[in-house]
């Protein structure tokens, strides 16, 4: 019953403060490292922009055609860009041994991984959300659909980082594992792809999109609750 | 008196048993050197003691806390073969984060530790620009900050020059005199007092 004891309560608060502290430290470290080596997070973003801008050249520059296929194009490209960035999520820390120190640390490993996943989203998912209105407009999406596109991206890109982390932690330590990662992760991404792109398509015809948004939100909550723990387990197994 | 107890440990890699029914205990103030030829599972044993890998069977406990428990993990410091440094961060940032992971809020002590290990002037140098020996020193500087009673050092003398070796030996002796436990593997002769050897 140490929760009722004043000193016990202080102890619990101290532990909480430590947990918040190590989370922020890990997040700040990952962001700092990425900003000092910008190609690590700029490459997937460049891929996102370049791949989308190629579609009008290959298919048709006509507004009607492009706006019809825009939700699919943007969402598929977003997924591939995230997939491209996932390889680096744990690889560098694995190669230099920091991951070992994280695993044996007495801090909660899921918490440390959640910090890394948050950094990954801030560097990949968030820029994609911010770039999407520009690319949506380039593909002749109307302003309302662009709003929905941003909303679906905002709801679902964190899930992409979270689910991706499970795959990335399973393949850590395996050389040339890009293809394996796609095989592991893309099937798990498909529900997100289906609901998100259908939400944008439906919005173009002024149909209700609440069902899709609820699905995306529930996937986000599920992956937020499960992914750090599953990734931690997978990492421990991979490191053995 | 605190005691690290290893009981009936079995370790298998593939189809071959690396060691079986390995039992020993080590009390505070002792240094244990694990010796053996290449491939005799020295590193595997240290990894089991660090909680990085699990044995086929057997148990490891310190003060009745089993390996893997938060209390046990808080009590160990492990240094593996890898440098545990990120090339994009400078020495001070690397060491600061490492000691955060190990539960020490180092603050100013980071700078002092780097100076103590002989890296004065390198505080803001990126780890990418350091030599192998200097990288080793940055990680070993953790030993000046760390308060963990059990040190698990895998080949700590590798890549160090004679000065570095002397500093490290002195630090290990100091740790043992203040009641700490140190388990290390090395192929080099080392000048450590109160040392036992375990042959695998």
pLDDT tens for chain A, 240 residues long, are 344 455 455 555 666 777 888 899 999 999 999 999 999 899 999 999 999 999 999 998 899 999 999 999 999 999 999 999 998 899 889 988 899 999 998 889 999 999 999 999 999 999 999 999 999 999 999 999 999 999 999 999 999 999 999 999 999 988 888 889 999 999 999 999 999 999 999 998 989 999 999 999 999 999 999 999 999 999 998 888
Contacts of B46 in chain A (CB under 8 A): none
Domain identity same for B120 and B134 = yes
Token pair of A234 as six digits: 């997978």
The contacts of residue B131 (CB under 8 Å, 6+ apart) are none
Question: Looking at the structure, do residues B185 and B93 belong to the same domain, yes or no?
Answer: no
Whether residue B104 is contained in a domain is answered as yes
CA torsion sign for B90, A100, A224, A49 is: positive
Q: Which residues of B touch A102 (CB under 8 A)?
A: 101
Q: Is residue B4 part of a domain?
A: yes
User: Does one domain contain both B66 and B9?
Assistant: yes
Tokens representing A235 are: 């990492």
Name the pTM for this structure. Answer: 0.90
> Residues B31, B49: one domain?
yes
On whether residue B194 sits in a domain, the answer given is yes
The 10s digit of each residue's pLDDT in B89-106 is 999 899 889 888 887 776
Chain B interface residues facing chain A, Cβ-Cβ under 8 Å? 50-54, 70-71, 73-74, 76, 78, 80-89, 93, 97-98, 100-103, 105
**The pair of three-digit structure tokens given for residue B152, joined into one six-digit string:** 């698990």
Same domain, B1 and B60: yes
- Residue B119 φ then ψ, to 5°: -115, 35
Q: Best interface-test mutation with B: which of A17, A96, A101 has the largest number of B CBs within 10 A?
A: A101
Q: How far is CA A234 from the centre of its chain?
A: 18
User: Is A104 in Cβ contact with B52 (below 8 Å)?
Assistant: yes
Q: Which residue of B has its CA nearest to A92?
A: B86
B67, pLDDT greater than 80: yes
Give chain B positions within 8 Å (CB) of A100: 52, 78, 80, 82, 84
Same domain membership, residue B138 and residue B152: no
Distance CA A116, CA A30 (A): 7
Q: What is the DSSP string of chain B?
A: --EEEEEEEEEEETTEEEEEEEEEEEETT-EEEEE--TTSSHHHHHHHHHTSS--SEEEEEETTEETTSHHHHHTEEEE-SS----TTSBHHHHHHHHHHHTT---TTHHHHHHHHTT-TT-TTSBGGGS-HHHHHHHHHTHHHH---SEEEEESTTTT--HHHHHHHHHHHHHHHHTT-EEEEE-SS----SSEEEEE-
Q: What is the CATH number of the domain that holds B57?
A: 3.40.50.300
Structural domain span for residue B69:
1-75+148-156+179-200
Do B119 and B187 reside in the same domain of the chain? no
């Amino acid at each position: 019953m140490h929760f009722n004891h004043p000193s016990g309560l202080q102890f619990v608060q101290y532990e909480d403060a430590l947990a918040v502290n190590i989370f922020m430290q890990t997040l700040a470290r990952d962001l700092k490292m990425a900003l000092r080596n910008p190609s690590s997070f700029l490459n997937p973003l460049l891929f996102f922009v370049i791949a989308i801008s190629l579609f009008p050249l290959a298919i048709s520059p006509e507004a009607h055609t492009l706006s019809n296929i825009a939700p699919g194009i943007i969402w598929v490209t977003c997924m591939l860009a995230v997939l491209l960035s996932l390889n680096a999520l744990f690889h560098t820390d694995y190669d230099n041994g920091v991951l070992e120190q994280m695993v044996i640390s007495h801090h909660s490993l899921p918490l440390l991984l959640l910090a890394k996943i948050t950094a990954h989203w801030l560097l990949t998912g968030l820029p994609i959300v911010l770039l999407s209105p520009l690319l949506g407009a380039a593909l002749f999406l109307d302003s309302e659909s662009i709003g929905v596109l941003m909303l679906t991206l905002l709801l679902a890109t964190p899930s992409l980082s979270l689910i991706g982390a499970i795959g990335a932690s399973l393949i850590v330590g395996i050389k040339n594992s890009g293809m394996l990662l796609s095989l592991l992760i893309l099937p798990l991404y498909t529900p997100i792809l289906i609901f998100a792109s259908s939400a944008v398509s439906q919005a173009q015809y002024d149909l209700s999109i609440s069902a899709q948004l609820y699905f995306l939100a529930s996937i986000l909550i599920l992956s937020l609750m499960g992914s750090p723990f599953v990734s931690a387990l997978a990492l421990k197994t991979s490191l053995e | 008196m605190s005691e690290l107890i290893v009981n009936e440990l079995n370790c298998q890699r593939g189809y071959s048993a690396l060691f079986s029914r390995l039992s020993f205990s080590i009390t505070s103030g002792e240094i244990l050197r694990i010796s053996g030829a290449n491939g005799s599972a020295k590193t595997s044993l240290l990894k089991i003691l660090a909680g990085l890998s699990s044995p086929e069977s057997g148990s490891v406990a310190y003060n009745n806390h089993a390996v893997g428990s938060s209390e046990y993990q808080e009590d160990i410091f492990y240094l593996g073969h890898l440098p545990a440094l990120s090339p994009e961060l400078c020495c001070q940032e690397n060491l600061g984060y490492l000691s955060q992971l190990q539960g020490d809020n180092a603050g100013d002590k980071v700078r002092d530790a780097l100076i103590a290990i002989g890296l004065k002037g390198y505080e803001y140098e990126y780890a990418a620009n350091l030599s192998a020996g200097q990288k080793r020193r940055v990680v070993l500087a953790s030993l000046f900050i760390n308060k963990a009673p059990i040190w698990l050092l895998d080949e700590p003398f590798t890549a160090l020059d004679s000065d570095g070796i002397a500093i490290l030996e002195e630090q290990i002796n100091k740790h043992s005199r203040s009641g700490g436990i140190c388990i290390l593997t090395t192929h080099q002769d080392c000048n450590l007092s109160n040392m036992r050897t375990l042959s695998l």
